[in-house]
Amino acid sequence: MTEIERHSYDVVVIGAGGSGLRAAIEARLQGKKTAVISKSLFGKAHTVMAEGGAAAAMGNVNPNDNWKVHFRDTMRGGKFLNNWRMAELHAKEAPDRIWELEHWGALFDRTKDGKISQRNFGGHEYPRLAHVGDRTGLELIRTLQQKVVALQQEDHRDHGDYEAYLKVWPETTITRLLVKGGKIAGAFGYVRETGKFVVFEAPAVVLATGGIGKSFKVTSNSWEYTGDGHALALLAGATLLNMEFVQFHPTGMVWPPSVKGILVTESVRGDRGILLNSEGRRFMFDYIPEVFKEKYATTEEEADRWYDDPDNNRRPPELLPRDEVARAINAEVKAGRGSPHGGVFLTVVGRMPGGAEEIKRRLPAMHHQFKELADVDITKEPMEVGPTCHYVMGGVEVDPDTAAAVVPGLFAAGECSGGMHGSNRLGGNSLSDLLVFGRRAGLGAAEYVDSLGDDRPVPDQEEIDYAVAEALAPFERKGGESPYAVHADLQQTMNDLVGIIRTEKELQLALEKLEELRARAAKVSVEGGKGYNPAWHLALDLRNMLLVSECIAKAALERTESRGGHTREDYPQMSPEWRKVNLICRLVGKADDPRVEIKRQEMEPMREDLLALFDVEELKKYMTPEELPAGMRAAAGAEEDDK
């Protein structure tokens, strides 16, 4: 009989990045016995890759900034497909979450008068990103970890046990959520070092597992990003929202091959960096979309003046939202004006008033990264960069206020939750997003546990036995294919057919190939034991990556328009009708062979007080006339008559 270790908690948080730690901290502050499950080592969360800063309208650098401006920028960046309530909560609460971090010990760069410094970033009207050089994500993680340790020290003082109310499980993977009577009852997984199976009995689970990037060949994401939270939610009966929207960060390293895909932070462009093609020309002026033309400079002279006088000049087009910059780079490469290794040039040489020393001071990680990994000195020569799969806007469908999924007891925050960013995430919004909704998820989970009283669902042994058999299956199969071969073909398929530019023909071909890969994955076999066996780990991760990839491909085929992180070459325009539609993924069919089903769901109309924050001319670019408030419709009609 298989040995299974059992533990009981109030709240289990899956993922130890920024959103997971903030959720766990909040659950513990509410008095709940909480477990944090980390797939990797504690402290090795992908949050550290968010280098540029955390967006929060504190107004420290420009006093004109406020939550309303931040809300507008977020909605514009997401092409108005955002869950507007999430965007509102985020814009209002982000400053409090940053000040909270500061109170907990986070160190930020400072303005001359001692306030938290804020820098420019793509899509943000004002300097808004609180930062620590270009290592902001690392400081955030360090601060949250230290808060966890501080709470554990309190528990040791009060209860004689550091882990009485908050325990971290490092290098532990969850393979199934346990459901009883339609409600969350716990989670099943294994300890990666030993292979020992573990059951966590808990009435509330918070998914904070990050993204899906390892389904793509070229990605900034680390090995943990295999879509675990997305897949676990689907398999538990929850729904995913708008999975077609995948962000390709415009500036990943393209040379040398050993570092291809590693991120070059947007703060390089926020700190005067410019993009050049092989002709030495700043090409971004050629790619300013109509909806953004009022906000962005059309000459190099105006663009450069903006850094010192933003009130009287328009923004450089290098600071357009990421989806726009990525498509522009892709277009330049396709036109034969790319760099020698298939990207473009990003340079800060001669761009900062303080010269080389200021570059090193403001961008220390970038200087070190390029010098050590690519033998490029960014103070003297340009970087070669290009689009890399970076972030998925789609994720678990959640209630904006509580972060609750449709399955009672299930919550999600951070990148694995959907809605907040619409069709495209603005840089810097992720770090503040995970703080705002990590806290709300932890609070929502605690309140849900309180609502149950003593009536907590208990996992069925039958479901645990199924999870065990599923996990052991790759060992039972003999002579099967290597999981590495299947994974490589999956990555190539997604990169070639479901990448930055999509067509109906290629998406249909992708779905055919995914079906073939599903059949191959069902036959993979591994050798050896359960104790730290990377092939076994990958064999189990394949299920998640294939499910998520199917969601992305099917949703991308369904949405016949181009918007944000979804570009259809055969449908190049945004559609006001499609803007009102969310695409919902759910699983149907047999439990051992589930299939992804796509349904259309109409968006809830935005409140009129929030619509009033925008000019009618801007709203007309995104919305149908009947969506506009009566007063705006009348004004728009009068303007048309005047023409």
Check whether 15 is labelled as a binding-site residue. yes
Is 390 a known ligand-binding residue? yes
Has 16 been labeled as part of a binding site? Answer: yes
Whose CA is closest to 123, among 175, 87, 51, 71?
71
What token pair was written down for 426? 């603005």
Is the peptide bond preceding residue 387 cis, with omega within 30 degrees of 0? no
- Cα separation of the two ends of the chain: 80
51 is in an annotated binding site: yes
Establish whether 549 is an annotated binding residue.
no
Does the annotation place 42 within a ligand binding site? yes
Catalytic residue among 135, 269, 272, 322: 322
List of residues 6+ apart from 637 with CB closer than 8 A: none
Question: CA-CA distance, 8 to 444, in Å (whole number)?
Answer: 19
Any binding-site annotation on 621?
no
Ligand-binding site membership of 267 (annotated): no
Whose CA is closest to 94, among 36, 50, 53?
Answer: 53
Q: Is position 77 annotated in a ligand binding site?
A: no
Beta strands 197-201; 183-191: pairing state: antiparallel
* Residue 41 annotated as lining a ligand binding site: yes
**Is 248 within any annotated ligand binding site?**
no
Closest C-alpha to 427, from 320, 548, 510: 320
50 is in an annotated binding site: yes
Range 456-487 burial, b when 16+ CB lie within 10 A, else e = bbebeeebbebbbeebeebbeeeebeebeebb
> Strands 593-602 and 581-590, how do they pair?
antiparallel
Indicate if 157 belongs to the active site: no
CB of 14 within 8 A of CB of 20?
yes
47 marked ligand binding residue: yes
Half-sphere exposure of 580 (CA within 13 A, CB side): 11
Distances (CA, A) of 487 to 389, 506, 517, 548: 16, 19, 9, 13
Determine if residue 228 is labeled as part of a ligand binding site: yes
Is 17 annotated as a binding-site member? yes
19 has binding-site annotation? yes
Buried b (16+ CB within 10 A) or exposed e, 190-218: bbbeebbbbbbbbbbbbbbbbbbbbbbbb
**Residue 123 is labelled as binding a ligand:** no
Can you say which residues are annotated as belonging to the binding site for substrate? 249, 265, 390, 425
Can you say which residues are annotated as belonging to the binding site for FAD? 15-20, 38-53, 228, 415, 430-431
Active-site positions read 322
Can you say which residues are annotated as belonging to the binding site? 15-20, 38-53, 228, 249, 265, 390, 415, 425, 430-431
